[in-house]
Amino acid sequence: MRPGPAVDWARTRLRDRALDPWIAGRVPRGARVLDLGCGDGALLQRIERERAARGTGIELDPGAAAEAIARGLCVAHGDIEAGLRDFAAGTFDVVILNQVLPLLRDPAAALETALRLAPLALVTVPNFAHWRIRLRLGLRGRLPVTAALPYGWHETPHIRLVTVADFRILCRERKIGIRGEAFAAIGRRGEPRPVRRLPGLRAALALFELEAGPRTRSEWRRCP
């Protein structure tokens, strides 16, 4: 659910589309895919085209949902957290949560439910511990406005803040396995630039491949 201010799609497009190639590349061919908070359906359409997937989306914004439907996609207008309860366990092969966890009232429950519906969840989040954010807070005492977090404090639809370290801890506490992870800075044209060292400091965005059941750090694989 997205309480408070609505998402400004024009403002978030750079961030929301930055990791689309990485996400699509991790979807198995022919997979049944559920995209939660699918927006106008750009990512879902790409996955259907490139991965021969069967896509379903849920989107709260009626205008964005209408755009997705106009693309010929199977998209329902509705609340994400409520919509998760409408599907039986194992209905999908992959569930995608692309930049939506900070908007949800209970992100941990959403992750657990996603992994009930599919064996694989692809989750992206902005990293609130990025060095630019730390610098702005430390030197100026102000909350950041960046490509990954493009809103002022008084207008943001985000109700949660997350860092790479905090997300890993949540997965460990909830016994959610991290199959793989990737980190990126955002280039000037919106392209993802891989970050392989010190991601908690240098990455603006993070992508996690999740599965039910914990994995040790030695079992994780880096991606891309």
* Rounded average pLDDT per 10-residue block, the chain, 224 residues: 54 79 97 96 97 96 95 94 87 96 92 96 95 85 71 68 95 96 87 92 96 65 56
Between β-strands 75-77 and 54-59, what pairing exists: parallel, antiparallel or unpaired?
A: parallel
Please tell me whether the overall predicted TM-score, pTM, comes out greater than 0.85 for this model: yes
The CATH class of 9-211 is: alpha beta
Residues in the chain: 224
User: Could you give the 3-state DSSP secondary structure of residue 121?
Assistant: strand
> Which residue's structure tokens are 């730390």?
134
Are residues 94 and 51 in contact, defined by beta-carbon separation less than 8 angstroms?
no
Q: How far is CA 20 from the centre of its chain?
A: 10
**Where are the domains positioned within the chain?**
9-211
Could you list the beta-strand ranges (E) of the chain: 32-36, 54-59, 75-77, 94-98, 120-126, 176-186, 192-194, 205-212, 221-222
